[in-house]
Amino acid sequence: MHTYNLIESILFPPISFNEGKLRKTLQGKSILITGASSGIGEHLAIFLSKLEIELQLILVARRGEKLEVLKQSLESKSITIHIIRADLRVQEDMDHLLEFLHKLPAGLDIVVNNAGLSINRSILQSMDRFHDFTRTMAINYFAPVKLLLSVIPLLQNNNGQIINISTINALIVPIPNWAAYQASKTAFDTWLQSAAPELNKIGITTTSIYLPLVKTPMILPTEAYKKMPAMTTLHVAKIICRSIYTKQRRYKPWWLIFGELFSVLFKKIIDSLFYKKA
């Protein structure tokens, strides 16, 4: 497990956390976690499995073999774990997942929308790669919309919660080379923010968690990220778990407010840097 250096300790201070409240809130509940075979989803499942309460975890990911290994390492007398191998971009896989969810005897209580795809590629390198945009929109936007439209009645019956794992990029000025990723993540963030008041009226809580760089397999292809400050997946798991019993609408790093203000107040300066000719 990665240990924070001094800069990371300042950027990502410890999370105040009440495990007793979490246990009480989750007793007997059912939680769906997408993108559960590695990274944030995997470590959230590990964290929840240690609570020693009656809890049902539904873990979804494309890599079925990794889900099998995870299930074998987590299953206990109190925790029930269901694994579903599914690529949520594939209609048949999505239909299979939804069929399973609608057959749950006690319904569904929490959806953690964590599955996602990140692409770091310039527009000039993307002119013959339209599929980069369709595949990021497919998993980052269309898949969670389709999933939630189907399970809203289940969540309504249980006064449930939707937790979306978003990115700080959705709240600040867009930056070059991330057009596909930023557009798709911002699209779903906007969808959820628009739907949230309606969902709240029928008893469904929504939580948006805006994360900075996180040490997951997703960032490995980008060489520059290896030396940049990044959150650990355990830290993120605690943030998610705290949001379950606090029902907070948003989480974002304490320092992001400065990035948001900078994006608004100094947009002309940012534009002059980004639009500078070679």
Contact (CB, 8 A) for 106 and 51: no
Query: What's the rounded Cα separation, in Å, for the pair 26 and 23?
Result: 5
Residues 6+ apart with CB under 8 A from 277: none
SS3 13: coil
What is the three-class DSSP state of 19? helix
Q: Choosing from 181, 210, 251, 275, which is the catalytic residue?
A: 181
User: Containing H/E element for 271?
Assistant: helix 267-274
Read off φ and ψ for residue 38, nearest 5 degrees.
-160, 175
Contact 188, 144 (CB under 8 A): yes
DSSP 219-236: GTT-GGGGGS--B-HHHH
| Per-residue exposure over 84-104, b if at least 16 CB sit within 10 Å of its own CB, e if not | bbbbbbeeebbeebbeebeeb
The answer to whether residue 181 is catalytic is yes
Which residue in 93, 80, 94, 86 sits closest to 67, CA to CA?
86
- Residues recognised as catalytic: 181
